[in-house]
Amino acid sequence: MVKVGFIGLGVMGRPMAKNLVTAGYDVTVVASSGAASELVAAGAASAESYSAVASVSDVVITMLPNSPEVRHVVAGPDGVLDGARPGTVLVDMSSIAPAVSIEIGALAAERGVEFLDAPVSGGEPKAVDGSLAIMVGGDAATLDRVRPVLEVMGGSVERIGAIGAGNVAKLANQVIVAANIAAVSEAAILAQSAGVAPESVFRAIRGGLAGSTVLDAKVPMMLAHDFAPGFRIDLHVKDLDNALSLAEEVSAPVPLGTAAQEMFRALSAAGHGTEDHSAMVRHYEQQAGVQLSPGAKPAK
CATH of the domain at 249: 1.10.1040.10
Q: Parallel, antiparallel, or unpaired: how do β-strands 59-62 and 3-7 relate?
A: parallel
The answer as to whether 143 is a domain residue is yes
* pLDDT (mean) for 123-132: 94
Predicted confidence at residue 35, as pLDDT, reads: 87
Q: How many domains does the chain have?
A: 2
Same structural domain, 150 and 8: yes
Mean pLDDT over each residue of the chain, to the nearest integer: 95
Closest C-alpha among 44, 48, 107, 96 to residue 74: 107
34-55 pLDDT tens trace: 789 999 999 999 999 999 999 9
Q: Decide which of 299 and 43 is more confident.
A: 43
Res. 227: pLDDT tops 50: yes
Torsion of CA 106, 30, 132, 38, to 10 degrees: 180
Which CATH number does the domain housing residue 101 bear?
Answer: 3.40.50.720
Q: Are residues 187 and 223 in the same domain?
A: yes
Catalytically active residues, by annotation:
170
Which of 116, 139, 163 finishes a domain? Answer: 163
pLDDT of residue 32: 81
Average of per-residue pLDDT across 179-206: 96
**Shared domain check, 179 and 128:** no
Task: Tell which of 110, 132, 163 closes a domain.
Answer: 163
- pLDDT, tens only, 253-297: 999 999 999 999 999 999 999 999 999 999 999 999 999 987 654
Does residue 298 sit within a domain?
no
Give the tens place of pLDDT for each residue, 58-107: 999 999 999 999 999 999 999 999 999 999 999 999 999 999 999 999 99
pLDDT of residue 298 exceeding 70:
no
Tell me, yes or no, whether 244 and 143 share the same domain: no
Q: Per-residue pLDDT for 217 more than 70?
A: yes
Range of the domain at 115: 3-163
pLDDT value, residue 295: 62
- State the pLDDT confidence band at 235, using cuts at 50, 70 and 90: very high
The whole-model pTM stands at 0.92
Same domain, 51 and 38: yes
Q: Is residue 294 part of a domain?
A: no
Q: Which of 163, 182, 212 is the last residue of a domain?
A: 163
Residue 159 located in a structural domain: yes
Q: Let me know whether 210 and 268 are in one domain.
A: yes
158 & 215 share domain = no
Asked if residue 193 and residue 110 are part of one domain, the reply reads no
25 and 56, same structural domain?
Answer: yes
155/173 same-domain check: no
